[in-house]
Amino acid sequence: MLAIPDGYRTNVREYATDADDWLGGLPGLADRYLAAWDLVRDGEDVWHGYVGIVVPVRMPDGTAAALKISYPSPESAHEAAALAEWAGRGAVRVLRADPAHQVLLLERLDNTRSLRDVPVPQAVSIWGALMRELSAPLPPGPQPFESLAELSRRWLCELPDRWERLGRPGPAWLLDEALAVCRDAAVESTLGQGNSLLVHSSSVLVHTDLHFENVLATPDGARWRAIDPKPLLGVAEFAVAPMLWNRLGELDGGAEALRARCHALSEAAGLDRELARRWSVAREVENHLEYLESGLPGDATRSLWVATALCGRADPGVDPAGLASL
């Protein structure tokens, strides 16, 4: 019987109102897929992220694999489709899937080796190479993923209302910065200006949560692979932000160093530096509001600092190393 880690129980309970009911059925759900897919557990270890749990298994031919079961959520609803599109190109390979129940059988990666433990300059280089692999255009045809143009239009409607409801929790110019890039993307998409910088890569599948801990090494240590995508159709520059709001304690130079990291990531991945900066600001403004709405003022403070730092207007008296622990 699957033993559910306490940390995972806490995560799911924070995320879902029906967490206890779902967690109660999780061991039986895992057993059903072990039997249906002819898998055997490979030891007693159980790994987990926020809403996904991973069980090391062996396939009938002895191949090491990983059975991933996620609490059903919109964020992970299209994970299987995204991984199938990448087909092992820069991302973990999906071997079998039941998308309706958000259950995946994945190739086994080394969960003890992530970019979190790699020096930042080397991690930036590895991340850039992965981004070049992940950013190949998709084939023509309908896709299930939300587009950046759709997200931009939604943010244009929602961000001002949320900002007012929360008591204008930041400088007005910062909200204007976030809305400007959303407005440009939404308008240019509507006009069909396919050669525009903001929408020219609209067929690129973007991994929107590609931070240090979502890049793992292969078992032989020879390659790196992205995991846990939150897919979106849009410009690859949208992917930069998670690498900026993590590992702030290692910045040597405060806001200027953060902007330098943004530039380095863009260069490593072959992206437009200014567009990467603008989308990172917008994403952190939205994060700032979401953290406040969720009762996480420390995380909201971090997001506000990152957004203002990327605009060259951060408080010079704030130490990002202190924000990293919030």
Task: Tell me how many degrees the CA angle 8-92-27 measures, rounded to the nearest 5.
Answer: 30
Angstrom distance (rounded) from CA 302 to CA 308: 10
- Asked whether 188 and 199 are in contact (CB, 8 A), the reply is yes
User: Is there a catalytic annotation at residue 272?
Assistant: no
Among the options 38, 161, 184, 209, which is catalytic? 209
Measure Cα distances from 253 to 122, 256, 309, 321 in Å: 18, 6, 11, 11
Backbone angles phi, psi at 196, to 5 degrees: -70, 145
Measure Cα distances from 94 to 4, 22, 60, 68, 228 in Å: 23, 24, 16, 10, 11
- Asked whether 288 and 178 are in contact (CB, 8 A), the reply is no
User: 3-state DSSP call for residue 270?
Assistant: coil
E strand intervals along the chain = 40-41, 47-48, 52-58, 64-70, 94-98, 103-107, 110-114, 204-207, 215-217, 224-226, 231-234
Element containing residue 165 per DSSP (H, E): helix 148-165
- Asked whether 238 and 208 are in contact (CB, 8 A), the reply is yes
129: how many CB neighbours lie within 10 A of its CB? 16
Tell which residue, 23, 31, 30, has the closest CA to residue 5.
23
DSSP 147: B
Question: HEC states along 73-125?
Answer: CHHHCCHHHHHHHHCCCCECCEEEEEHHHCEEEEECCEEEEEHHHCCHHHHHH
Active site residues: 209
